[in-house]
Amino acid sequence: MSLFAHLIIGNKGSDRSNENLDEKNDSLIKRLKAGDCNAADELVDNYYEQIYLFMRRLGHRRQVAEELVQETFLAAWQHIEQLRRAKAINCWLYRIASNVSSRYWRKNKNNKAVSINGIYSISDQEISYEQPEAREQLNRLANAVRLLPVKLRQAVVLHYMQHLTIAEAAQAAEVRQGTLKSRLNRALKALRKQMTEEFGDI
C-alpha cells in the first residue's frame, strides 16, 4: 500500500473509549462547572497540543493558531454548562475549535491557508523512517490538503489527521454523518486528482 493510501484510505479514526479517562474527565467537568481555575489549567494542559495541531493542520499560521486555540479554550470555559457527558469532551472541544476556525476564515477571506509541512503525528513519523522519500510525500499530501475548500479540508483533518471516527468528526463539524462522508469522498477525489496531476502515480 502506498503512503498516500495509508494516510488517506487505510487510516481509521481511533476508539478512545477509556473508563479511567472518562472518570478523570467527569471529575474535571464537575470542577470546571464549579469554577475551579485549576481545572481550567488542567483542561488546557490535557488538550492544548491536539487543538493547536488541529488549527495548524487547517492551514492557520503559527501565531494565528495560538490565538485561535486561546479563543477555543476561553469559549469552552464560558460554555462549560453545555457539556453533559465526559465522553463528549473531545468532540465538544473540536466543535468549538471548528467554529472558531470557521469564523476566522469568514472574517479573513483574503487569507490563504499556509503550508503545513512538518506537522505530523507520531504514526506519520514512524512511516517516514520506514519508507524512502516518505517525508517528501507527506509534505506533498499536506500541501494538497491545504488547497482544499475549507469544509473539505476540515473533514480530512478531523478524520484522517486528528483520527476522529466518522461519528466524532461529524459531531465536531456539526453535520450529519452522511454529509461528513460526502465531504470526505469529494476531498479524496480532489486530492487524488491533484496528487496524480502534479506528481504522477503515487
What pLDDT score does 123 carry?
44
pLDDT of 10 > 80? The answer is no
Determine the Cα–Cα distance for residues 114 and 24; give it in Å rounded to an integer.
Answer: 36
From 132, 92, 138, select the one nearest 116 (Cα to Cα): 138
For residue range 20-45, list pLDDT tens digits in order: 767 788 888 888 888 888 988 999 99
User: In the chain, how many domains are there?
Assistant: 1
| 8-state DSSP, 82 | G
> Identity (one letter) of the amino acid at 163?
H
Q: How far is CA 107 from the centre of its chain?
A: 21
- Number of helical (H) and strand (E) elements in the chain, helices listed first: 10, 0
Q: Where in the sequence is the domain holding 34, given as residue range(s)?
A: 3-199
Q: pLDDT by residue (tens digit) across 86-96?
A: 778 889 999 99
The CATH number of whichever domain residue 80 belongs to comes to 1.10.1740.10
Residue 168 pLDDT greater than 70, yes or no: yes
In this prediction, residue 11 has a pLDDT band, given cuts at 50, 70 and 90, of very low
Q: What is the reported pLDDT for 116? A: 62
Q: Is the pLDDT of residue 186 over 90?
A: yes
**Total residues belonging to the chain:** 202
Residue 58's nearest CA partner among 43, 68, 48 is: 68
In this predicted structure, what is the pLDDT of residue 126? 45
Confidence of residue 122 (pLDDT cuts 50, 70, 90): very low
Residues 39 and 87 sit within 8 Å (Cβ to Cβ):
no
CB neighbour list of residue 12: distance below 8 Å, 6 or more residues apart: 163, 165
Least confident of 72-81, 84-93, 115-124, 170-179: 115-124
From the number of C-beta atoms within 10 Å of its C-beta (0-12, 13-18, 19+), residue 132 rates as exposed
